[in-house]
Chain A
């Protein structure tokens, strides 16, 4: 095994953790946005639209910088003396905010494709709004949104590398450090890239399993004709 393999593996673990935390944050926020959009309030919808346009049109690296330095300024004001957000939390916050916008678009598309009758049926069965949402709408939402969300996850995994610019020692930064120490950037960056390839390839397999599971009832029913 090449030197620093263990360090890179730890970095890969942190990359995965950063990706997962950002994804959970983004999905939660996107669901909140989706529910808020149901209020049909002009102000709320306007806010969501502007947020979505701005955050999707600006480079992620800029959002990460703004979060990190911006949070440092605000925290310093509150604290009195210098304070900053840890690079990990700044990363989760920044990537989470960016992917909230993207996942909201995916969820909204899926939500709008669910027939109105489903809500009415839930109501007729005596379920309230929340119950209808979680028992009837949500499972269908996941099924329709999964392909879009899978793509976003693969993009998010790669974007986590940008958090290395604010000093988080995830896979990208670990590769840089190893490359610097060993004076061998070609080997160590390629080695790091191999870890990323492994993570994305593994994710693709996992997502394929999820997709079969979510769509399990869609499999054709075999009817035996005697």
Chain B
């Protein structure tokens, strides 16, 4: 148990790191793709929807394995700078989490933008504000205010998704717990510790979002 406690901080750090990178990189994709989906119509719009369709329709675990084990098969990737990401387990896990969360959140951002009253766009058009300016200054701030509660769900989802990194040899919280259970065969000692740490991280994340929600609420 002492050995486990000693290695716990590094594992927690890795879990937090995976979660934060996955979440923020995913949100960047979501911001760009969600907005683009909102602005496009017809064939380009449908082509852009292929990415979220695939990543929301398949398990994160299989995406992780395609990125980590599958892509390594392609020589062109192995011989290029991309190998920095695909060659390391951490890089692959972060990329898989990013693409997964990016797909789910894009649809959320797109939905929030679509749900704003159409009159807002017309009003800003009448005031002579360009379409892109309207998006940045008028639509996105309102959309994100509505989105905050869903985004807090997304970060919990990312946190839980980061546990899958343990399947590709990463020693984050779940990986460490699994290793110690395999060694000692006493699940009831280690699982509660890991569970409590996950609950604590999730709690902190939710508090931050609650604070943001209150801060950004319209008076």
- Show the binding face of A for B, using Cβ within 8 Å: 53-54, 56-62, 65-66, 69-70, 73, 158-162, 164-165, 172, 175-176, 179, 184-187, 189-190, 192-193, 196-197, 200-201
Q: Are A70 and B58 in contact (CB under 8 A)?
A: no
Total residues of chain B contacting the partner, CB 8 A: 41
User: For residue B65, which residue of chain A has the nearest CB?
Assistant: A189
Q: Are B163 and A62 in contact (CB under 8 A)?
A: yes
Q: CA separation between A196 and B61, bound complex, in Å? A: 12
Q: Which among A65, A70, A164 has the greatest number of chain B C-beta atoms within 10 A?
A: A65
Listed by A's residue number, 29 A-B pairs whose Cβ atoms lie within 8 Å are A54-B199, A56-B156, A57-B156, A57-B198, A58-B198, A58-B199, A59-B160, A61-B163, A61-B164, A61-B166, A62-B194, A65-B178, A65-B181, A65-B191, A69-B181, A69-B185, A70-B187, A73-B186, A159-B59, A160-B59, A161-B62, A172-B59, A184-B73, A189-B62, A189-B66, A190-B70, A192-B62, A197-B53, A200-B57
Q: CA separation between A164 and B61, bound complex, in Å? A: 10
User: For residue B63, which residue of chain A has the nearest CB?
Assistant: A193
Which of B57, B70, B191, B202 contacts A201, CB < 8 Å?
A: B57
- Per-residue A-contact encoding for B56-87, CB less than 8 Å = 1, 0 else: 01111111011001111110000000000000
User: For residue B186, which residue of chain A has the nearest CB?
Assistant: A73
Q: Are A57 and B73 in contact (CB under 8 A)?
A: no
Query: Chain A contacts of B174 at CB under 8 A?
Result: 59, 61-62
Q: CA separation between A164 and B164, bound complex, in Å? A: 12
Q: Are B164 and A189 in contact (CB under 8 A)?
A: no
Query: Chain A contacts of B177 at CB under 8 A?
Result: 62, 65
- Per-residue A-contact encoding for B146-180, CB less than 8 Å = 1, 0 else: 00000000001001111110110000001001100
Query: Chain A contacts of B159 at CB under 8 A?
Result: 59
Query: Chain A contacts of B194 at CB under 8 A?
Result: 62
Q: CA separation between A21 and B67, bound complex, in Å? A: 30
Query: Chain A contacts of B73 at CB under 8 A?
Result: 184-186
